[in-house]
């Protein structure tokens, strides 16, 4: 799996190099304003693709957040891929949040899906049904299934997801990212003991969303 110990996500290196090269070019030409502008752009790209270490809290029954951000939806919802009524938690990631996504529970990837679509503002609930998205179905050692879905947003135009069907993933492990603002939808089984509320600011790989039944 990529980005295990790198301070910057590997997907960000091309952007950093290009922006850094443009900055150097303008500096050599003594175009100070443009050089300063692209220096800020370069630093922002480094900041955006930062890849901090995280330590999961709780035990294996504790579902950790797959993303940094704010809880913008929490309630019952029909998950179409499993065709079940589940508890849905939606997390909005702004461009200022860490964008590395992490595995919420230890388990095996038993299915995955990709749906092409629009790029609506992810704070609009229509984004769940209409936006480009990539999902994983995870099954724990106890046979509990859950779904985590990366949803592309208004600015985000590239979903990155490393695991394949059959892979064994571990809680808190990095599994992908979405470039430049996006949303994660997490579908948990009924009976989960929720530990977050609407509007909570949460941290990927550390904040406990709920306790599995």
Read off the pTM: 0.85
Q: 178-203 pLDDT, tens per residue?
A: 876 688 999 999 999 999 999 999 99
pLDDT in tens, 48-91: 888 898 989 888 899 999 999 999 999 999 998 898 999 999 99
Domains of the chain, residue spans: 10-48, 62-211
- Confidence band for 131, pLDDT divided at 50, 70 and 90: confident
The pLDDT tens digits for 82-97 are: 989 999 999 998 888 8
Q: Which of 80, 94, 182, 197 is catalytic?
A: 182
Q: In this predicted structure, what is the pLDDT of residue 192?
A: 93
Between 119 and 42, the higher pLDDT residue: 42
Residues in the chain: 213
3-state SS, residue 88: strand
Give the residue, 168 or 117, on which the prediction is more confident. 168
CA angle (182, 110, 83) in 5-degree steps:
70
CATH topology assigned to domain 62-211 = Glucose Permease (Domain IIA) (2.70.70)
71: part of which helix (H) or strand (E)? strand 69-79
For the question of residue 182 being annotated catalytic, the response is yes
How far is residue 101's CA from residue 65's CA, in Å, rounded to a whole number?
9
* Spatial contact of 209 and 89, defined as CB atoms under 8 Å apart: yes
**Is residue 127 very low, low, confident or very high in pLDDT (cuts 50, 70, 90)?**
low
- pLDDT reported for residue 91: 94
**Higher-scoring residue by pLDDT: 40, 7:** 40
State the DSSP code for 11. G
- For the record, the structure tokens of 149 come out as 């879905």
Residue 137 has pLDDT above 90, yes or no: yes
Structure tokens at 64: 């950790």
Query: Looking at per-residue confidence, does 2 or 8 come out higher?
Result: 8
Mean pLDDT of 109-134: 75
Residue 102: which of 208, 201, 191, 212 has the closest Cα?
A: 208
């Amino acid at each position: 799996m990529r980005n295990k110990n790198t301070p910057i996500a590997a997907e960000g290196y091309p952007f950093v190099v290009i922006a850094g090269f443009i900055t150097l070019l303008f500096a050599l030409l003594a175009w100070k304003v443009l050089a300063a502008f692209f220096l800020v752009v370069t630093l922002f790209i480094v900041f955006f693709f930062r890849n901090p270490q995280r330590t999961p809290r709780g035990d294996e029954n504790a579902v950790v957040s797959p993303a940094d951000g704010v809880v913008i939806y929490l309630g019952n919802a029909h998950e179409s891929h499993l065709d079940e009524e589940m508890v849905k938690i939606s997390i909005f990631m702004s461009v200022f949040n860490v964008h590395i996504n992490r595995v919420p529970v230890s388990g095996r990837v038993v299915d995955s899906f990709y749906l092409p679509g629009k790029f609506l503002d992810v704070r609009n609930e229509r984004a769940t049904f209409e936006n480009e998205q990539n999902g994983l179905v995870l099954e724990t050692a106890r046979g509990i299934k859950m779904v985590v879905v990366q949803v592309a947003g208004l600015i985000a135009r590239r979903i990155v997801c490393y695991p394949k069907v059959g892979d064994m993933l571990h809680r808190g492990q990095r599994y992908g990212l979405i470039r430049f603002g996006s949303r994660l939808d997490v579908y948990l089984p009924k009976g989960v003991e929720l530990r977050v509320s609407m509007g909570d600011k949460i941290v990927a790989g550390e904040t406990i969303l709920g306790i599995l039944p």
